């Protein structure tokens, strides 16, 4: 059980792809929509991209379904998204902490992420947690 009440975080599997894509799509529209130059992929686009994220992917779930996820490859934290209704609940912090542990266990000498220019909310979140 995670620090966010009533939420379980586990490794994602192929059966989770539709739920991961839905979370990614909804969260992406909220966080990146204004930065996308009018290009708004649909859920099917995210499903195709999500399949490539496994096995370095954790999904956060509550009784009503998926509410967040994080994905990495090697030393790169590739994605971290939570549904907008979960902003400020601690879920993002829990996913980040779990991803950091998983990535370090994988052996890279350095872990990193890229944050899109203009995504100030994400930049502040990562900086708050020691990322530069």
Residue 1 lies in a domain: no
Residue 91 lies in a domain: yes
Which pLDDT band, with edges at 50, 70 and 90, does 16 fall under? very high
Helix axes 43-50, 17-32, angle to 10 degrees: 120
Average pLDDT (63-69) is 94
Per-residue confidence (pLDDT) for residue 1, from 0 to 100: 37
Q: Range of 108's domain? A: 8-128
| 111: preceding bond cis by omega (within 30 degrees) | no
Residue 77 lies in a domain: yes
Residue 10 dihedral angles phi and psi, to the nearest 5°: -145, 170
Per-residue confidence (pLDDT) for residue 2, from 0 to 100: 42
Residue 3 lies in a domain: no
Average pLDDT (56-61) is 95
Q: Are 121 and 31 in contact (CB under 8 A)?
A: yes
Dump pLDDT digits (tens) for 94-125.
Answer: 999 999 999 888 877 788 888 777 778 878 88
Between 125 and 61, whose confidence is greater?
61
Residue 97 lies in a domain: yes
> What is the domain count for the chain?
1
Per-residue confidence (pLDDT) for residue 37, from 0 to 100: 55
Q: For residue 91, give the CATH number of its domain.
A: 3.40.630.30
Name the average pLDDT for the chain. 84
Residue 89 lies in a domain: yes
Dump pLDDT digits (tens) for 27-49.
Answer: 888 776 655 555 666 778 778 88
Residues near 7 by beta carbon (within 8 Å), at least 6 away in sequence:
1, 60, 61, 62, 67, 91, 94
Residue 58 lies in a domain: yes
Residue 63 lies in a domain: yes
């Amino acid at each position: 059980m995670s620090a966010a009440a009533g939420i379980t975080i586990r490794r994602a599997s192929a059966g989770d792809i539709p739920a991961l894509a839905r979370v990614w799509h909804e969260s992406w529209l909220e966080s990146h929509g204004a930065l996308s130059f009018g290009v708004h992929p649909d859920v099917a686009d995210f499903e195709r991209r999500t399949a490539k994220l496994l096995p370095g992917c954790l999904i956060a779930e509550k009784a009503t379904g998926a509410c967040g996820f994080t994905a990495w490859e090697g030393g790169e934290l590739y994605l971290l998204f939570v549904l907008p209704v979960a902003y400020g609940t601690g879920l993002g912090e829990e996913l980040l902490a779990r991803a950091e542990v998983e990535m370090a266990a994988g052996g890279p000498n350095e872990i990193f992420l890229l944050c899109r220019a203009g995504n100030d909310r994400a930049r502040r979140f990562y900086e708050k947690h020691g990322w530069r």
